[in-house]
Amino acid sequence: MDETTGGADGGACGEVPYRTGDVLRMECPFTSAAVTAVGRYHVAVRWPWWEVDTEARGIEWNGDIALPTPADHGWTDSYFRTVPPEEELRAGDRCLVGIAPTVVHVLAVDHFDPPLETGWLPRPAAYIEFLLQGQSFDPELEEQGHTVDPAGGEPVRFALLFRPYAFLENGDDLVDHDGRAWRFDGPWDWHPYDGGPADAPAWPLHLLHRDGDPAPDEIAAVAAATATGSHADVAARWAELTHASPLPTRN
């Protein structure tokens, strides 16, 4: 498994080594923090990894992050947890906050130039947008998913568990076993050039174009990777890991 670590000491700075459709294991070491306020639905924790951005324009952050308690409907969707559990904490307590190993799948990778002003430092230059294991993308929802800065102050670690169609690059043109030409824009985002049904290509695949004429070894790699198996096999492996439906993802 490929692994990267965020935070100030290294990791996924600059180019983010993940893409739409990737299945990742995400975790963050549990770190001591102070509990500053407690309510029925949220617990406020002095965030141990960020600093206040005093130069942010029109944004003031007090250094706290509100984490949901089990009484909040969003608790099952949250991924940071505390030890002891949120519902046992009181203002003035010390706790540990972090992320237990969690499987997620990537919806998109967003880049910001200049980095976003959020009220805290470091300012994010990129976000990984993701869904937790068991959550499927719903194109009818305006807002869905979570974001994390892969190079932010939080020492979040990622390990690549599975990349569907790892042997292809976005924008590749291919022809399938049935002679149909396709453009690959992501594992669940295939576009046929004949205007026919946009389901998925029939394996094996032949690489026609990759930012120009592909090299012989690139053609051979695609042919070898699709000599056996099928798109359905890729989707089944992805669903096995994510417990989700491989629907078209956001770009």
176 shares a domain with 152: no
- pLDDT tens digit string along 207-243? 999 999 999 999 999 999 999 999 999 999 999 999 9
Predicted pLDDT at 139? 82
Last residue of some domain: 114, 138, 162?
A: 162
178 shares a domain with 64: no
Q: Using CA atoms, how far apart are residues 224 and 232, in angstroms rounded to an integer?
A: 17
Predicted pLDDT at 64? 98
125 shares a domain with 228: no
Q: Which residues, at least 6 apart from 65, have a Cβ–Cβ distance to it below 8 Å? A: 44, 45, 47, 80
- Does residue 247 belong to any structural domain of this protein? no
- Return phi, psi of residue 190, to 5°: -100, 140
Predicted pLDDT at 141? 83
DSSP state of 239: H
pTM of the model: 0.91
- Please count the structural domains in the chain: 2
200 shares a domain with 77: no
178 shares a domain with 81: no
3-state secondary structure 221-238: HHHHHCCCCCHHHHHHHH
- Does residue 69 belong to any structural domain of this protein? yes
Q: How confident is the model at residue 6 (pLDDT cuts 50, 70, 90)?
A: low
Per-residue pLDDT for 137 more than 60? yes
